[in-house]
Structure 1
Amino acid sequence: MSNAGPFHEFTGRDLPWLVDWQASLRPDKIFLVWEPVDGAPQSWTYAAFAEETRAYAAGLAAQGITAEDTVVIHMGNCPEFLFAWHACARIGALVVTTNTGSSVDELGFFLEHSRAVAVLTEPRFLPVVRDAGAVLRWIACMEGADEQDAGDYRLLPFSALRGDDAVAPRRDAEPLRLGSVQYTSGTTSRPKGVVWTHANALWSGRTTAAHLGLTAEDITLIHLPLFHTNGLGYSHMSTLWSGGTIVLTPGFSASRFWDIAIRNCCTWVSQIGFTLNALISQPCPAEHSVRFFSSGSGGTICQDNWGISQISWYGSTETVSQNCHSDWRLPEAPGSMGRAAHEYELSIRDEADREVSFGERGRLWVRGLRGLSLFAGYLHDPAATDAAFDADGFYDTGDEVTPRADGEIFYASRAKDMLKVGGENVAALEIETVIMGVAGVREVAVVGKPHPLYQEVPVAFVVAHSNDAGLAAAIEAHCADKLSKFKRPWEVRVIDELPKGLLSKVLKKKLRVMAASES
């Protein structure tokens, strides 16, 4: 007989438990509405959604997927994404969600590093999956695929993944079983796979629902990618936990936003700076049901433009849910990212590792429980996992913040060498490593340049071995081949020398000034 402990609020529960519990509690309530660009909307009740996840679990099992396998979902927003993600949870397989903007090189790394045995994708991404060159049992593709695009891989139609839901495999609940992976940019040259347990996913849903005050009457519009924590955890899991309704779109569209939100009586939407700025250009409807938008930091943009309250929040894939958040029912300080969430312990320290005073900037550390309120670790990388925590179990967020005496916390800067491009975290080192692979490059430094829509965009400063008029064009072509579009430098500036300080450290602060002031 196995030991009962450790005990926590999700003991004896996992993702399939939540789906099945909601299906038994409210079988006829609409859980998912699909709003495609072309075609009529579709919907699934909680009971129908649970049936789909069982059917896909049966189909995946029939194709040889077991609890020991890793499956990659390389898809945009669609109902099948969620069916398959939950189906893998039923089987006990590890499911990896990858950015659909990934280059062939990036996707090849994800597939190899995660040890994936199969990929689920769409026709538009099939050539990239094929060219990634991973060793796979098969690729399953949605309707409309050209078999020639699969090359030598065994290609399955998505219909082959839908079996008899009555014979779907089901394991005993293991809340601390590794369930899903998202690759996130860090300060290394390659992204790291952030691993969530089933309990992590449940925590994301339960905690976010509590922070937002969600009920079964709430309806959320998800236009942010499901392959990220914001869409998959903050929006999808919180709605599943609270018994509400999801309205899913293929992606963000400023021109379609209000029509979809009004027709479906949406009550809240998770946004990022890019989507909020894009919506400003759209006429504001006289009547709507949206109660609040949630976004990274507070301000008056939502109230000023749409008369809508805003919830500010702060969190990451590693911290599973929000470590700071505001309350849409209460006034907040403009620019604040909220107040400390009671589920976490926060520590804000200076460079000497001492707690800062109010009004001082410091690095944010977060403590919780690994595998529950904090991620389980980095996939196949115990050294990186250990390096992410201090001796007392605090996770290093890499962000600098400023606490105020009234409890509000303000984001200051990214301590780690990271950029935020249209809501995506991008490691400068990842771009620099790619550029160093171009013949003729002696040195390179990448910094962010402010952008009115994307917040900031990468700019590469390059020192050449010799005078080469075609070097910038060669770098741009190499980056187009190796990097996702959002990671590619918007500008490549060839200069004589990089500004440096003591010990030849590149002065990126000076480069940021140069990037912002020069064209």
Structure 2
Amino acid sequence: MDLCTLIERNAAYAPEKAAIHFEGQTLSYADFNRRIERVSRALEGQLGVERGDRIAILSLNRPDYLALLYACARLGAILVPLNWRLAAAEQLFILSDSGAKVLVLEQSFDAVLPLLTRQLPDTSLVGLDFAPLGGSKLDDLLDEDGRDGRNPRADLTCPLLIVYTSGTTGRPKGAVLRQEALLWNGVMSQHMHDLTSADHALTVLPLFHVGGLNIQTTPSLHHGATVTIQSRFTPEATFDSFERDRPTLAALVPAMMQALTNHPRWESTDLSALKAICTGSTMVPQHLVERFVMRGVPVLQVYGSTETCPIAVYTKLGGDLVPEGSSGLPGLCCEAAIIDGSGSNLPPGTPGEIAVRGPNVFYEYWGNQRATREALSNGWYRTGDIGRRDADGYFWVHDRKKNLIISGGENIYPAEVERVLMGHPDVAECAVVGRPDPRWEEVPIAYVIRRPGAQIEAEGLMAHVQSQLARFKAPREIIFTQELPKTALGKVQHFMLKEVGTRSGPNGDSN
């Protein structure tokens, strides 16, 4: 059995049941299952994909994103989702680090192709909506050549996803999730949402995130429910879907919740079909929760990360009244604990590091044994997040990972931005921290020490960063300073800079 078996079973039980709605088209479970079979045959027969090979995808949300996922499950191959908001150089690093055999992409993201063909010429190219130079369009590869499109050695222990997260060392790390992680994650989603085949999930989060892929989307398909996919989030399209498609569930990050509640259609749109929305990825302001509750929509909270697939701690639909601000209880199929530096459990009420253990937890960081050893101990994943639990087992998350900036639901690691800033010849030292922002929760700002005699200004440094990193990672403000607060060991004390906030840096001038 592999993960695709769940789709096949649903196609057998209810072949005409709607599996996916997308841009006015509907795929039944029978249609979706046939598409998966044809894609897997094309990968195997036309591109030589075998068990363990990596297939990268660079695309907005669309049904073939999911067809590729389950085709990889049939073959024992591994899907590598690429964040389309990243710069081409960042995407190229992931393609190289993962050793992707095939890149499947939309034409709108073909900016990566010149770099790819020069530096990774052996990577096969497949277009979802075009035929890339030197490659093929996916539909042109689909045939009925009699192949099974299934590897008999593929099962639930096979890796299925490598999802890259920005690393504290300044380079992304690829978290490897096995097929069984998605299976057990789906069981917890079912428990969390009281999910049945009668449900209808609206997917607006990007599928390159485990949140968009696995909080509701794949669990809904595993349980025979219906999924409506939006290519990307916009308030107008979401309101239209609430009224037209009548979804019962949706997953939204706080920035999306705020965009909806601030929209002119918020009060007039019929939300009566929604039995709940789910949110997470950062601390959720209580006023946003209350806005949905006042419209009669319960708000469920989920805590987790890429490494936990992501469901780990959550509040349950129909469960007991949850203490305000709590992220809930450990999931049905995993454990969570608050530990100290030595890994020992801490008593209720004592802040410490959140650790998670269970079949949903990632297997390793791709090609990075050191990082894997640092993160995993006796099956426990040390999240680096600080929280506490009460005597009843409810968890509170106090702080995200050290120095992590979450802007509009996207993770920004200062070390990555600092690495690019330090690559500029006029920068002697720098530090990047988050500043509160009314729209995005946080935005990055940078404190910079110029090299002696350097005349670089803020605009030039911002352009330098944007040439190598996604725009959302670029500092919103550059603050030039003469010194940075440091420990006795010379490490920059980011927390002191965060306290400075929008004021000028120590002994510095703001730009």
TM-score normalised by length of structure 1: 0.90
- Structure 1: distance between partners of 2:418 and 2:61: 31
Residue 318 of structure 1 pairs with residue 307 of structure 2: yes
Indicate the SS of the match to 2:396: strand
Q: Which of the residues 314, 327, 340 maps onto 2:316?
A: 327
Residue 134 of structure 1 pairs with residue 86 of structure 2: no
Q: Partner residue of 1:192? A: 173
Q: Partner residue of 1:72? A: 56
The one-letter code matched in structure 2 to 1:500 is: K
Number of positions where the alignment pairs a residue of Structure 1 with one of Structure 2: 492
Q: Partner residue of 2:94? A: 110
Q: Which of the residues 288, 297, 304 maps onto 1:301?
A: 288
Deviation at 1:167, TM superposition (A): 3.1
- Structure 2: distance between partners of 1:205 and 1:163: 32
Q: CA RMSD in A?
A: 2.0
The one-letter code matched in structure 2 to 1:164 is: E
Deviation at 1:445, TM superposition (A): 0.8
Q: Partner residue of 1:387? A: 374
Mapping of 1:50-69 within 5 angstroms? 50-68=33-51, 69=53
Q: Partner residue of 2:507? A: none
8 Å Cα contact 1:324-1:340 kept in structure 2: yes
Deviations 1:51-87 (A, max 9, x none): 0011111222232232142211111101121222222
Mapping of 1:361-380 within 5 angstroms? 361-368=351-358, 372-380=359-367
Q: Partner residue of 1:119? A: 103
Deviation at 1:22, TM superposition (A): 1.1
Mapping of 1:210-359 within 5 angstroms? 210-282=191-263, 283-284=266-267, 285-296=269-280, 299=286, 301-305=288-292, 306-329=295-318, 330-351=320-341, 353-359=343-349
8 Å Cα contact 2:433-2:444 kept in structure 1: yes
Indicate the SS of the match to 1:66: coil
TM-score normalised by length of structure 2: 0.91
Q: 1:44 to 1:166 in 2, by over 3 A?
A: farther
Aligned residues with identical type, % of pairs: 30
Q: 1:165 to 1:31 in 2, by over 3 A?
A: farther
8 Å Cα contact 2:182-2:360 kept in structure 1: no
Q: Partner residue of 1:158? A: 138
Indicate the SS of the match to 1:312: strand
8 Å Cα contact 1:59-1:160 kept in structure 2: no
Indicate the SS of the match to 1:398: strand
The one-letter code matched in structure 1 to 2:187 is: R
- Structure 1: distance between partners of 2:95 and 2:270: 48
8 Å Cα contact 1:364-1:396 kept in structure 2: yes
- Structure 2: distance between partners of 1:126 and 1:375: 30
8 Å Cα contact 1:463-1:494 kept in structure 2: yes
- Structure 2: distance between partners of 1:206 and 1:163: 35
Which 5+ residue runs of structure 1 have no aligned equivalent? 1-12, 36-40
469-478 vs 287-296, which deviates more?
Answer: 469-478
Deviation at 1:354, TM superposition (A): 4.5
Residue 25 of structure 1 pairs with residue 25 of structure 2: no
Deviation at 1:316, TM superposition (A): 1.2
Indicate the SS of the match to 2:467: helix
- Structure 2: distance between partners of 1:467 and 1:515: 27
Indicate the SS of the match to 2:215: helix
Q: Partner residue of 1:448? A: 434
Q: Which of the residues 138, 149, 152 maps onto 1:169?
A: 149
8 Å Cα contact 1:208-1:321 kept in structure 2: no
8 Å Cα contact 2:243-2:270 kept in structure 1: no
- Structure 1: distance between partners of 2:365 and 2:323: 35
- Structure 1: distance between partners of 2:348 and 2:123: 56
8 Å Cα contact 1:57-1:90 kept in structure 2: yes
8 Å Cα contact 1:438-1:474 kept in structure 2: no
Residue 500 of structure 1 pairs with residue 489 of structure 2: no
Q: Partner residue of 1:464? A: 450
The one-letter code matched in structure 2 to 1:163 is: D
8 Å Cα contact 2:184-2:333 kept in structure 1: no
276-285 vs 45-54, which deviates more?
Answer: 276-285
- Structure 2: distance between partners of 1:405 and 1:517: 40
Deviations 1:238-287 (A, max 9, x none): 10122100000011111221221221110010111110011111223245
Q: 1:214 to 1:166 in 2, by over 3 A?
A: farther
Q: Partner residue of 2:405? A: 419
- Structure 2: distance between partners of 1:304 and 1:104: 39
Deviation at 1:517, TM superposition (A): 4.3
Residue 49 of structure 1 pairs with residue 24 of structure 2: no
- Structure 2: distance between partners of 1:165 and 1:80: 20
- Structure 2: distance between partners of 1:112 and 1:304: 44
The one-letter code matched in structure 2 to 1:409 is: F
8 Å Cα contact 2:242-2:270 kept in structure 1: no
The one-letter code matched in structure 2 to 1:130 is: P
- Structure 2: distance between partners of 1:61 and 1:268: 35
Q: 1:54 to 1:374 in 2, by over 3 A?
A: same
Deviation at 1:217, TM superposition (A): 0.6
Deviation at 1:100, TM superposition (A): 0.7
The one-letter code matched in structure 1 to 2:349 is: G
109-118 vs 122-131, which deviates more?
Answer: 122-131
- Structure 2: distance between partners of 1:104 and 1:480: 11
508-517 vs 22-31, which deviates more?
Answer: 508-517
Mapping of 1:481-496 within 5 angstroms? 481-496=467-482
8 Å Cα contact 2:157-2:180 kept in structure 1: yes
Deviations 1:76-114 (A, max 9, x none): 101121222222222222221110112121111111111
Which 5+ residue runs of structure 2 have no aligned equivalent? 505-509
Deviation at 1:399, TM superposition (A): 0.3
436-445 vs 321-330, which deviates more?
Answer: 321-330
